[in-house]
Structure 1
Amino acid sequence: MPHQTDMPDGTQTNGQRLKRLRMRHRWDQRKLAEATGYSLSAVRKFEQGQRSLDRADVILAFSKALDCHPTEITGQPYTPPDSDHDGQAAIASVGAVRRALLRHGRPSRPTEQEAAEADLNALRERVAAANGHRQGASLAKLGGLLPALLRDLQVAVDVFTGDQRREVYDLLASGYECAMQYLYKLGRSSDATLATERVLWSAAQTEDPLRVLSAHWYDAGELLTIGEHDEAGAIIDDALSGLAAMSADSPEKVSLTGAFHLKASLNYARATDSKAAERHLKKAEEQAELLGRDRNDYELQFGPTNCAIWSVSLPVEMGQGQAAVRRAEQVTQSLPKQYAPERRSHHYIDVGRAYYYNGQHDEALEAFVKAERLAPQATRMHAGVRETTHTMLNSHRRTALFEFGMRLGVV
């Protein structure tokens, strides 16, 4: 049998990568346990793959103790197996999208033909198509559109002036958001961070206060991902204060306020403050009730449905299996079939993790497969799905579970 460090990284568990990082520091398991506050028994079970190391707050605790990025534990980005043709298609545009991001802020130097063909109506339609692929979790199609779209938007910034130029910046910010989501779903965290910086800069050029604040929703998410809860909280608090200071209660303002309360609830959940997390969820639900329906302002889906989905996500983030399963059984029944596949797939991923925490492994696999049907590549690339599947395979290699693990590339 190959030594664990000789195994392809995608087939290793997070615990095996944790052990490798610990040994790099020349720490024993006891020292790691003392540094993180977890028991020696828990550290052993994580490293041996007997306990799923999939919760963000736990991964962050270990990454801070070992002074590494969380992706060094989760193993992202993953490379799809050669047999996964759709997965290979999804990652095919990563390099071209990265190059487009690196060209940001530089003179576009358009050819005469590019300048002459700059068409605002066409750009609106193309950005709408990109967002459709983003919400539909069609990563290969989204990646295929982005390089040329970002180039043409960068050219349009140099071609148009006045109000039209400000609108192009709005479209460019949306294009960068699509790039950020594309890269994030594929586990390219550093590239996704670069895209987020481009979103912030482009949104600022629109001179639209709400558009600027919507960009900071993603900025807070970047800090939350690496466990900088205070900094993320400061961005969220500033945004909520700015929204409260606006006089008119437009639907866009209400929607954005609710979205920031959801982000605050996630920040507190990962900081293991369950009371504060629930408090902000309630505030988000109040905003959703004011709206009375689901909206998609600034491509931030918010409304009663998204609040219901987040009500499952929060206990999952805190490892509260029973509470998450109780909520999931109610939410899943009422989930609109026309709701964005990207959001529905993420809901089923959370449901699967909830069932796993609750000891219901068959139900967990069933939920993961539902997520995979809705968003194949995003599900197979999801760190939590891969780690949880790994751990279930360690305890029982049922045929259906093994086949799912093969599609993920973890066996």
Structure 2
Amino acid sequence: MTIAQDADSPRAIAASAWYLNHVFRDAGERHEARVDLAMKSITLLDPGRGSEDIALGGLLHLAAALSYAKAGQKGNAERHWDKADEAAHRLGDGYAHPWLIFGQDMVNAYAITMNNDLIRSGAAVDAATHIDLGTMPSATRRSFHLIETARAYSLEGESVAVVHLLKKAYKASPETARYNLFARGAAVELAENGSAVIRDDARGLARQLGVAA
């Protein structure tokens, strides 16, 4: 962010705000600070300049949606998700930002995370059933969203689906899965306390993730 500000680049500042939002959210910082950062960065963008600014603006609305969801504010979360969805629609179904991957698939996939954090497992599973993660042009993103889908099924108590999806996530991107806190915790829990049907698979998964006892 400091380098982006020194360069006086609104687009670099906006992209940095997206990543800082993730850092703040994972660290448990107040959602007001995270949303304020995203909204201030949006004011530097001009959708009239073209797809880059539209995508970055949509990305920052998505950041705000995730921050509000983490704080349990359903209305605000959905309001910002809708604005991100509008930006994705404006860019078209086939659009994906070349390195931020913002586009309709990404917005749809983050609906899973948003609903997970709002503890709306049914809505999260429903969102997951309506997207094809295989078309997402990033192995890291595919793995992350598969893990988030597994988290949705975990909230539903569907342990067989959880193990299956975590194995798919590991196959898509081993490093992403290894360093994901939910994936690591779920693998250990199911390896130790899962039903006999999935315990062996869960133990194998735990070994792959580096958390086997």
TM > 0.5: yes
Change (3 A) 1:289 1:205: same
**Amino acid of the structure 2 residue aligned with 1:353:** R
Which residue of the partner structure matches residue 345 of structure 1?
143
Partner of 2:39: 237
Shift of 1:317: 2.1
User: Shift of the alpha carbon at 1:362?
Assistant: 0.4
Segments of structure 2 that go 5 or more residues without pairing to the other structure are none
Does residue 212 (structure 1) correspond to residue 10 (structure 2)? The answer is no
Segments of structure 1 that go 5 or more residues without pairing to the other structure are 1-199
Which has the bigger relative contact order, CA under 8 A and spacing at least 6?
1
Counterpart for residue 268 of structure 1: 68
Give aligned-pair identity as a percent: 26
Q: 2:84: which partner in 1?
A: 284
Q: CA deviation at 1:236?
A: 1.1
1:314, CA displacement in angstroms? 0.9
Match for 1:274: what amino acid? K
Match of 1:314 in 2: 114
Q: CA deviation at 1:346?
A: 0.6
Counterpart for residue 3 of structure 1: none
Superposition deviation, residue 225 in structure 1 = 2.3
Aligned-partner Cα distance in 2 for 1:218–1:247: 21
Shift in Å, 1:389:
2.0
User: 1: CA distance between counterparts of 2:13 and 2:24?
Assistant: 17
Whole-angstrom distance in 2 between the partners of 1:377 and 1:275: 34
Separation (CA, whole Å) in 2 of partners of 1:395 and 1:222:
31
Aligned match of 2:48 in 248, 255, 271? 248
- Give distance in 1, aligned partners of 2:95 and 2:210: 36
Which segment is superposed worse, 233-242 or 253-262? 233-242
- Paired with 1:230 and 1:253, the residues of 2 have a C-alpha distance of 23
Query: Greater CA radius of gyration, 1 or 2?
Result: 1
Residues 55, 103 of structure 2: 8 Å contact kept: yes
TM-fit CA distance, 1:336: 4.1
AA of the residue aligned to 1:280 = H
Aligned residue pair count:
207
Report whether the alignment pairs 1:400 with 2:212.
Answer: no
- Indicate the SS of the match to 1:242: coil
Per-residue deviation, 1:247: 6.9
Question: Structure 1's 367 and 378: CA in aligned 2 closer, same or farther, altered over 3 A?
Answer: same
Q: In the aligned structure 1, how far is the partner of 2:175 from the partner of 2:134?
A: 22
In 1, Cα distance between the equivalents of 2:179 and 2:25? 20
Q: TM-score scaled to structure 2, two decimals? A: 0.89
**2:179 aligned residue:** 381
Letter in 1 for 2:129: E
Q: Does structure 1 residue 259 correspond to structure 2 residue 84?
A: no
